[in-house]
Amino acid sequence: MKRPVSRPLIILAQILICLFISVHSFSQQKESGGEGPYHNRDQKSLTKDQKRKLKEYKKHPVWVDMLKDQSEINYYETVTAFETFWEERPEPKEKKLEKEKGKKKRSFLKRFFKSDKKLKRESDRLVVEWKAYQHWRRDVRAFIQPDGKILTREQQLQIINSQIQE
């Protein structure tokens, strides 16, 4: 004869299932959010201004300046600037702990005109900024609006305090 399952066990099982589903769906989302002005767009469909910005992002660490002035920062724009800058550069020493994922190889001419040593020195110089970016990205992930704006510090604290009170 089977014993009936107690009500608290059923509730616990439902909570665990909900938790598993939410964690699974969150892990399926792309790290960069999968949104923003450059997502799923080829070079032909970008405007001249967007192409100019991408060229600037590739040449200079614009994302560092974006992180310094966070008053008008856009999450998707900052992520695009960071990822575009690091596309063809060697990773900083601290970042090499992760596996390389689909790293684009530099063309012969780019390798010829800009030596690996120079690129490596440049990327190693940005290790601190790279770490700051990673911390920033992790910290603001929960406060990103659909348009890429990030809630102000006061709004973030208000949400945190309301969750603590519940």
pLDDT averaged per 10 residues in sequence order, the chain, 166 residues: 66 63 45 55 77 91 89 90 88 55 59 63 81 92 90 88 87
Partners of 150 in the β-ladder: 144
Query: How much is the pLDDT for 117?
Result: 67
pTM over 0.85: no
Query: How much is the pLDDT for 16?
Result: 62
Around 29, how many Cα atoms within 13 Å sit in the side-chain half-sphere?
11
Query: How much is the pLDDT for 97?
Result: 41
> 3-state SS of the chain: helix, strand, coil percent to 5?
65, 0, 35
Determine contact, residues 74/148, Cβ cutoff 8 Å: yes
Query: How much is the pLDDT for 19?
Result: 56
Query: Tokens standing for 76?
Result: 């998707």
17 phi, psi to nearest 5 deg: -65, -45
Report the run of H or E that residue 26 belongs to, with start and end.
helix 7-28
